[in-house]
A and B are shown apart, each in its own frame.
Chain A
Amino acid sequence: MSHVDTTYEPYSQDPGYIEANTSLINSVDLSGVSRVADLACGTGMLSGLLFGRKSDLTIGGIDLDPIQIGIAQRTFPGPTVTSLAALRAEGAAGRGAAFFNAGSAMELPFNDGEIDLVVIGNAIHLMPDRDAFLREVARVLRKGGQFIFNSVFYVGTFVPGTEALWTEWMKQAIEVLGEINAARAAKGEGPVPRVRGKGDRAFRKDWLSGDGWAAALAQAGLQVTLKADRPVPISAEGLAMVGAYGGLAEVLMSGYPVEIASECLQIASPRAFAAKGMTEVPRNWLEMRAVRD
């Protein structure tokens, strides 16, 4: 078995992914913004883009995964501090900095109204309680503060006519798994073990449309000022990097060892594009911006 990097870092370098997030960040009005919360920040891409636009921001980045937090700490293009108190002190002194910390975006460490801008990149669909999450965002935002997010997991993400590519990708992943099992059998080993019951039941994705998100935001006291679909092309190489990400692989191939699931999805990508005679496929990103009442 080849080694697969299952962190989010490889996909975060994909040109399409960078374009989608750069566009999102560049669309934000940063006048009057000093204190930022980057939720489910992963490797800190959005934090870095924001700091690149305005170097006196203080940014609190939060992610459940300490490995991603470590990468964010190492790669952030500005100074980092090691506590929220230190971040507040930097802000009080007019200096920009970031503090990345492992934690849940459902329970934010910020005071009521402390934050000018909350961002969450391609992760809002992962929040276990959508309404509670939005209430928490509204709690930490000051009046007039902004909330922005994007996501590729929503009703409308599939560009009509492209659905077959995504189906083919998963079918090819199963074919790769079959090849791995055949190789194991040739060595006298059993098939790749699977523990059922580790994933949600199929199709229970609870996706919202853009309008659905707008209604949920309004209920939390956040009024939508932008709702847009941004088609972003993804190549075979980009999709391979998406598949290699362990957090997605363990969902798409629930119950299989993550390393093997990641390997299957990575190898399956170019095969799927070849089978469909495609070199890239567009997928819509939902972009939303809202303001705290």
Chain B
Amino acid sequence: MNAITRQSLQDVVIRVLNDTVRDWDLEIEGGINAATTLIEDLAFESIDIVQFSVALEQALGRKDLPFERLFIDEGNYVDDVSVADITAFLANALQAA
């Protein structure tokens, strides 16, 4: 993971998201990009968040990424997260590992 760049991480996030929503019959204008959000734009339910997290870990060859730091803030769930948020989280988590 040392050589992985922010751009390549974002590419992984977008690829996994595209795989996740492939059969969901969504119309995503311009496709998934850095500004796309999981809940407002992609209509994620709670279990979709978990399945997406597991799929991301598999894509990155990891099993212990602390997604709770991305999704829970000061005791409450966040309102939404964007592809850019996820990419930044992954960059920090992988750097800390």
Q: A residues touching B (Cβ–Cβ < 8 Å)?
A: 155-158, 160, 163-164, 166-167, 170-171, 173-175, 196, 199-205, 207, 209, 251-256
Contact of A199 among B47, B50, B66, B79 (CB under 8 A): B47
18 contacts between A and B (CB under 8 A): A157-B75, A167-B66, A171-B54, A174-B47, A174-B50, A199-B46, A200-B45, A202-B38, A202-B45, A202-B77, A203-B49, A203-B71, A203-B80, A205-B77, A251-B46, A254-B45, A254-B47, A256-B47
Q: B residues touching A (Cβ–Cβ < 8 Å)?
A: 24, 38-39, 43-51, 53-54, 57, 66-69, 71-72, 75-80
Contact A173 B71 (CB under 8 A): no
Given A201-B39, A202-B45, A255-B45, are A173 and B50 also a contact pair (CB < 8 Å)?
A: yes
Kindly list chain B residues whose C-beta atoms are within 8 Å of the C-beta of A173.
50
Contact A158 B75 (CB under 8 A): yes
Kindly list chain B residues whose C-beta atoms are within 8 Å of the C-beta of A167.
53, 66-68, 71
The smallest beta-carbon distance between A198 and chain B, in angstroms, is 8
Complex CA–CA separation, A137 to B49 (angstroms): 36
Contact A171 B53 (CB under 8 A): yes
Given A157-B75, A167-B67, A203-B39, are A254 and B50 also a contact pair (CB < 8 Å)?
A: no
Complex CA–CA separation, A166 to B71 (angstroms): 12
The smallest beta-carbon distance between B48 and chain A, in angstroms, is 7
Contact of A203 among B54, B68, B77 (CB under 8 A): B77
Interface majority SS (helix, strand, loop, mixed), chain B:
mixed
Complex CA–CA separation, A203 to B77 (angstroms): 6
Complex CA–CA separation, A166 to B69 (angstroms): 12
The smallest beta-carbon distance between B28 and chain A, in angstroms, is 16
Complex CA–CA separation, A202 to B49 (angstroms): 7
Kindly list chain A residues whose C-beta atoms are within 8 Å of the C-beta of B39.
201-204
Complex CA–CA separation, A203 to B68 (angstroms): 12
The smallest beta-carbon distance between B55 and chain A, in angstroms, is 9
Kindly list chain A residues whose C-beta atoms are within 8 Å of the C-beta of B54.
171, 174-175
Contact A203 B79 (CB under 8 A): yes
Contact A201 B43 (CB under 8 A): yes
Kindly list chain A residues whose C-beta atoms are within 8 Å of the C-beta of B48.
202
Complex CA–CA separation, A36 to B75 (angstroms): 33
Kindly list chain B residues whose C-beta atoms are within 8 Å of the C-beta of A158.
72, 75
